[in-house]
Structure 1
């Protein structure tokens, strides 16, 4: 008996250590998932990377269609800051861009342009649709959701439902004076910043009024940024190239 009892006790000790080890492993895995810098699995967005998947969705629902604004807005005036290194990242973020938008957004922008044209004015686009990968690049430079979209949620730009715009005179192409240059990440770019000349306040309000009249929502921290409401529920994130979208008829 003296040889058997210690073996039984050893087996019990080994079993206890095994169970304890399993519990510690489970706790470690769970805690590791809650690391402050980790993105929880259930918040990682679904991103459409396949043109065929996008095309099938657009065929089933025309509101999902991405259209070129050149067919809806005339003249289409653009200044693609992210196609140059003259932007806050100091790198070229995309090449050969075009102004793509979901069909409902394009129709609303068409109305905005018509209203401005009656005043001798026009929209000017700094950015429209941008691929999801660009949002990831931007967040790496400015991880501040007041000014850049968190990739965990994605951007309205990735959904074809957000636009960075200003107003220009049709006759001269001259931009109306606005509070700041594009992508100025200071309080002066906020809609509630009021320490500005009267004409600048009026121009900012004109843009906001006409965009909101036709269904867009302003971003409080950027005078130039407007989006369709509830875009996250209406449109999936896209990571398609401009050349891919040019295939759409």
Structure 2
């Protein structure tokens, strides 16, 4: 009787312990895990990083690629948030990303096209704001992991006619939540599919990969080598 009376509370404790351990693994958004996310918000730490490794520097794209067209939507109210999110209409990316975009622009220029940039490096605090306010979370990065934009390794863009600067027809407008925004969506006019796929192929040649639900969003290979950043544009 004594052994039986002891086994019951011991078994209960074991079950509770197992449940707690299981919970730690199935709740990746716990406060403890979010607190361990490394985000660089010190200008000095950032400057020291590219002093040691020049590839870590965030380059202003228009300075490296003067004929690049910018349409930084988050510096206006013309975006899915319907409000100004950036205080300045500027675009930055890590040095290798900027260098490859320069090659893309040179390749496109030969064919009469050019790039229009909607967004590039995005401070981490903006990603947090997006996630809190977005109705459809599948189209915004989860702050628990951060965004490739926060690493300076993602760029949102489209094709333009180099001479007229007019956008080339694409499946949807920028930041559309429609099914047609998917990079492999097929129920579209043939000319639009050709334009989209030409852009995807060209970007892929130079180290960029489109994401499946946004034809305009490209991640740079090797993004894992760059830290999440929360340095405001005015400090760059």
- Give the TM-score category using the shorter length: 0.7 to 0.9
Q: How does 1:35-74 map to 2 (within 5 A)?
A: 38-42=29-33, 44-74=36-66
Contact 2:61–2:93 (CA<8 Å) still a contact in 1? yes
Q: Does 1:114 align with 2:106?
A: yes
Report SS of the residue matched to 2:65.
Answer: coil
Q: 1:38 to 1:210 in 2, by over 3 A?
A: closer
Report SS of the residue matched to 2:79.
Answer: coil
Structure 2, gaps ≥5 residues long: 1-9
Distance in 2 of aligned mates of 1:34 and 1:104: 36
Distance in 2 of aligned mates of 1:86 and 1:112: 27
Contact 2:29–2:144 (CA<8 Å) still a contact in 1? no
Deviation string 1:200-244 (CA, Å, 9 cap, x unpaired) is: 01110111011000000110100000011241x210011011111
Corresponding residue for residue 154 of structure 1: 146
Corresponding residue for residue 87 of structure 1: 79
Q: TM-score, normalised by structure 2?
A: 0.86
Contact 1:121–1:170 (CA<8 Å) still a contact in 2? yes
Distance in 1 of aligned mates of 2:76 and 2:161: 24
Matched residue pairs, number?
224
Q: TM-score, normalised by structure 1?
A: 0.82
Distance in 2 of aligned mates of 1:110 and 1:35: 43
Corresponding residue for residue 170 of structure 1: 162
Contact 2:72–2:91 (CA<8 Å) still a contact in 1? no
Superposition CA RMSD, Å: 2.5
Between 38-47 and 172-181, report the one with greater CA deviation: 38-47
Corresponding residue for residue 242 of structure 1: 233
Distance in 2 of aligned mates of 1:158 and 1:38: 18
Contact 1:97–1:242 (CA<8 Å) still a contact in 2? no
